[in-house]
Amino acid sequence: MKALHEMGVAELGRALGSREVSSAEVTKHLLARVASHQHLGAWLSVDGDNAIAQAQAADQRRAAGASGPLLGVPLAHKDIFVTSVLPTTAGSKMLEGYMSPFDATVVRKLADAGTVTLGKLNCDEFAMGSSNENSAFGPVRNPWDPSRVPGGSSGGSAASVAARLVPATTGTDTGGSIRQPASFSGITGIKPTYGVCSRYGMIAFASSLDQAGPLARSAEDCAILLSAMSGFDERDSTSANRPPQDFHAAMRRPREGASAARPLEGLRIGLPREFFPAALASDVDSAVRASLRELEKLGATLVDVSLPRTELSIPVYYIIAPAEASSNLSRFDGVRFGHRAKRHGDLLDMYKKTRAEGFGPEVKRRIMIGTYVLSHGYYDAYYLQAQKLRRMIADDFQRCFLSCDVIAGPVAPTVAWKIGGKGDDPVATYLADIFTLPASLAGLPGMSLPAGFGEGGMPVGLQLIGNYFDEATLLQAAHAFQQATDWHTHAPAGI
């Protein structure tokens, strides 16, 4: 049997089901690994006693005849999901020590499936960032090279899976914050269609973009988790009113006309020319194109398509997202919950000092941008125009899907950069999101899967984007690719 920390979600579920190992054993083993890898900065809170109690309860349920692919499987949550047992900070001093009176829907659904929560994971403050350097509690380090970023904003989630501290984690994706850290950290992550997973209890950054999703070792693991996480929630007005789906079963369903040697027979994969610009790093380009050739061997057909407004996705996103952030973060005023300045004069002075002390530089920057574009005289010129372009970006995707089933390309223009490498130029960090932003603006499902290695031995991710509510096709293609390759099984040296 593999070492316990080397097992993914599916493997662990099978081992627990056959009684080869107990949840309590796995939980204690992983808690010890978390304690020995604090140098990565990935964990903000751990509750070992509660985790062991949950594991023992899961073992008792199995002993009584209960079953399930996630029963007794340990995981951890991005600290953007509120939890009633563990503190929730959103990576900000504004919420340091905050205890929620309830659990986020995603957290509750996974708990109902029998998972064991080990703790909460570091993230960019209020999920604003692409490197996990914006957390008030310090940066997260990439397990492949601790001098580099793990990606963001779900950096703690990605680093923890890559370092084999936990088989899976939750994350959120607003403009690429599941896919980009999955790519930088050499793991698999999926952002489902907007509305598939409830946003209730997920601290809002940009409400029309935020979406929860899993990060894990493989597409199969992600499918198991997504099946449990998804579903309609009447408490979330943006939740898609659709029946529950078994993504794992859909992923394993053979395609019509496919064979064991060519499981992707008939699948049309679109390659937008805008996703392969001259500025794309050669190491990323080589790894992605090699992966595309592998998909062709598996029966897929490559089709040239175009997403002509790809470059416009950056200005569109960085108008819409800060505008929504400006509105959402107005609730952090020192009155109802969170940080309050100790020394202040009148009420207005308290507001000013509380927000000045509680928010970090990147959050302040985005609030100021958002407030500006929503202000009188600028709403029509900036925000309204951005929303019109957003609709046009979504229309571009629908034209592509007339001639293809899935769109493929790189996740990011380069591999992970050095910590502090872009600290003086936030716009350079924004530009690194160019390939993930279009799908987010359109509300489409997208995923990243390990596709090789580039400069410095750092992971490269292949991005797959599907049509609305067609996560099954994405997972099917990713699973077939991972059955034929072993990139997703590689672990950082010394881990």
- pLDDT-derived band of residue 145, with 50, 70 and 90 as boundaries? very high
Q: Give the position of tokens 């407030």.
A: 371
pLDDT of residue 244: 87
Q: Quick check: is 286 catalytic?
A: no
- pLDDT-derived band of residue 195, with 50, 70 and 90 as boundaries? very high
With 0-12 / 13-18 / 19 or more C-beta atoms within 10 angstroms meaning exposed / middle / buried, residue 256 is exposed
| Helix (H/G/I), strand (E/B), else coil: 79 | coil
Average pLDDT value for residue range 138-151: 98
- Closest to 45 in 3D by CA, of 203, 162, 156: 156
Average pLDDT value for residue range 312-329: 97
- Closest to 267 in 3D by CA, of 297, 302, 304: 302
Can you tell me the distance from the alpha carbon of 115 to that of 397, in angstroms, rounded to the nearest whole number? 36
- Closest to 492 in 3D by CA, of 152, 5, 13, 77: 5
Can you tell me the distance from the alpha carbon of 154 to that of 91, in angstroms, rounded to the nearest whole number? 11
| Helix (H/G/I), strand (E/B), else coil: 452 | strand
What percent of the chain has pLDDT above 70?
100
Average pLDDT value for residue range 261-282: 97
- pLDDT-derived band of residue 424, with 50, 70 and 90 as boundaries? confident
- Res. 488: pLDDT tops 90: yes
Q: Which of 100, 153, 198, 448 is catalytic?
A: 153
Q: What is the pLDDT of residues 105-130, one digit of tens each?
A: 999 999 999 999 999 999 999 999 99
Contacts of 85 (CB under 8 A, 6+ apart): 47, 50, 117
Q: Give residue 152's identity as a one-letter amino acid code.
A: G
pLDDT of residue 423: 78
Can you tell me the distance from the alpha carbon of 19 to that of 205, in angstroms, rounded to the nearest whole number? 42
pLDDT of residue 336: 86
Domain around 41: 1-495
Can you tell me the distance from the alpha carbon of 161 to that of 215, in angstroms, rounded to the nearest whole number? 7
Average pLDDT value for residue range 405-434: 93
Radius of gyration for the alpha carbons in the chain, expressed in angstroms and rounded = 21
Q: Which of 177, 183, 239, 448 is catalytic?
A: 177
Supply φ then ψ for residue 110, to 5 degrees: -70, -35
Q: What is the DSSP string of 112-169?
A: HTT-EEEEEE--SGGG--SSS---TT----BTTBTTB---SSSHHHHHHHHTTSSSEE
Can you tell me the distance from the alpha carbon of 173 to that of 178, in angstroms, rounded to the nearest whole number? 5
Beta bridge partners of 304: 271
Query: Do the beta carbons of residue 41 and residue 140 sit within 8 Å?
Result: yes
Query: Do the beta carbons of residue 7 and residue 64 sit within 8 Å?
Result: no
Can you tell me the distance from the alpha carbon of 189 to that of 448, in angstroms, rounded to the nearest whole number? 5
Q: What is the DSSP string of 227-275?
A: HHHBS--TT-TTS-------HHHHHHSPPTT--SS-TTTT-EEEEEGGG
Q: Quick check: is 153 catalytic?
A: yes
The number of beta carbons lying within 10 Å of the beta carbon of residue 175 is: 29
The domain tally of the chain equals 1
DSSP 8-state secondary structure symbol assigned to residue 44: E
Can you tell me the distance from the alpha carbon of 211 to that of 324, in angstroms, rounded to the nearest whole number? 14
Can you tell me the distance from the alpha carbon of 399 to that of 442, in angstroms, rounded to the nearest whole number? 13
Q: Quick check: is 448 catalytic?
A: no
Q: What is the DSSP string of 270-310?
A: EEEGGGS-TTS-HHHHHHHHHHHHHHHHTT-EEEEE--TTT
Note the pTM of the prediction, 2 decimals: 0.97
* Cis ω before 153 (30° cut-off from 0): yes
Angle between helices 313-328 and 361-374 in degrees, nearest 10:
100
Domain at 3, CATH number? 3.90.1300.10
Q: What is the DSSP string of 372-431?
A: HHHSTTTIIIIIIHHHHHHHHHHHHHHHHTTT-SEEEEESSSSSPPBTTTTTT-HHHHHH
Element (H, E) at 9: helix 9-17
- Res. 427: pLDDT tops 90: no
- pLDDT-derived band of residue 281, with 50, 70 and 90 as boundaries? very high
